[in-house]
Amino acid sequence: MTRLTTVMETNLMIRVLAVSFAALAAAAAPAFAADAPLDVETTVVAPSDGVQPDWRVTLKATGVVGPEFEGARDYSVTGYPGLSIRRPGQPWKFGAPDDGFGFALFDSAMFQIGPVARIKSKRDSSDERRIRGVHDVDWAVEPGVFVEFYPTTNTRIRGELRHGVGGHDGFVGDIAADWIERFGAFTVSAGPRLSLGDSDFMNEYFGVTTRDALRNGRLSRYKADGGIKSVGAAAAVTYDWTPNWSTTAFGAYNRLVGDAADSPIVRRLKSKDQFTVGLGVAYTFDFNW
């Protein structure tokens, strides 16, 4: 029964992602005729020997202030690297700071499809006295697949479907839509966010077992169902100092909803509102294989 429930929830999540993509694409469809395909990036720095490079590689380093774990009230500072790879001459593609790490196996002016991964931080209940005794959660890696769709030159719709390894073994999904504007050296973006999780994921981070309840003494037993975890919005501003160097400042707000918001852990911590701010730097260079 548990296996059947997980399969049904996974199929439901895939359908939700597909329907959401279709709805967003339909809303943007009238703009197809008025907008030309995305411009090809013109900031490629040619090698001194005149040979066209095989790849354009972008290395990123980002510092973030955000919740210590899913549903946390306290915040911490973390840092993480990033990497993107593309062929020279491929259409310029927007990348949001809250995208998972990935690269496109299929890349056209309007679509991208490829593998993606994220890292989810651990939860140590001994660090938060209000939930002391609740089961800890280890670090998790979430490999999966992403799909991007550019219905217009200024609109990007992205979906990710991933599966946890380590801290949890559930399926999670994210849907993002961004409006993008380029003003000279500045790139400005903003748009809504939606996150989902199946019951395995939701129970790992928001559920309270009988043992948890007995050890904590103030939290009641709680079993979370799969569904929408949070809704919110994100915005970012990127400045290109040179064709190789850029800096990005960003912020995001997410509101826990559904079974995540009803969790005794979240209610105890009074942490339905989750904020994130960060600053990143990127360096782009040509690479010959």
Residue 115: give its domain's CATH number. 2.40.230
Residues in the chain, overall count: 289
**Beta-sheet pairing, 273-287 with 245-256:** antiparallel
Please count the CA atoms within 13 angstroms of the CA of 208 that sit on its side-chain side: 25
Query: In the predicted model, what is the mean pLDDT of residues 118-132?
Result: 91
CB-based contact 254:193 (threshold 8 Å): yes
Mean pLDDT of the chain: 83
Please give the pLDDT value at position 169: 95
What pLDDT was estimated at residue 42? 31
For the chain, how many structural domains are there in total? 1
For position 74, what pLDDT does the model report?
Answer: 92
pLDDT of residue 225: 96
Task: Name the 3-class secondary structure at 282.
Answer: strand
Domain limits for position 170: 2-287
Confidence category of residue 90, pLDDT binned at 50, 70, 90: low
- Which tokens go with 270? 């009074």
Model pTM? 0.77
Spell out where the chain has E strands. 55-67, 75-86, 101-102, 106-107, 111-120, 140-152, 155-163, 165-166, 171-183, 186-197, 227-240, 245-256, 273-287
pLDDT in tens, 180-227: 999 999 999 999 999 999 999 999 999 999 999 999 999 999 999 999
Taking 70 as the threshold, does the pLDDT of residue 22 lie above it? no
Mean pLDDT across 28-57: 45
The angle formed by the CA atoms of residues 194, 213 and 258, to the nearest 5 degrees, is 20
Report, as an integer, the average pLDDT of 154-171. Answer: 97
**For residue range 255-283, what is the model confidence (pLDDT) as tens digits?**
999 999 999 999 999 999 999 999 999 99
Give CA–CA dist 226/204, Å, rounded: 11
Residue 228 has pLDDT above 50, yes or no: yes
Q: b/e string for 216-255 if b means 16 or more Cβ within 10 A?
A: beebeebebebbbbbbbebbbebebeeeeebebebbbbbe
Q: What angle do CA 30, 35, 38 make, to 5 degrees?
A: 130
50: left (phi over 0), alpha (psi -120 to 50) or beta: left
pLDDT number for residue 52: 65
pLDDT attached to residue 134:
96
Mean pLDDT (whole number) for 4-25: 41
- The answer on pLDDT for 7 being more than 90 is no
Report the pLDDT value the prediction gives residue 16, as an integer from 0 to 100.
Answer: 41
The least confident of 38-52, 76-90, 115-129 is 38-52
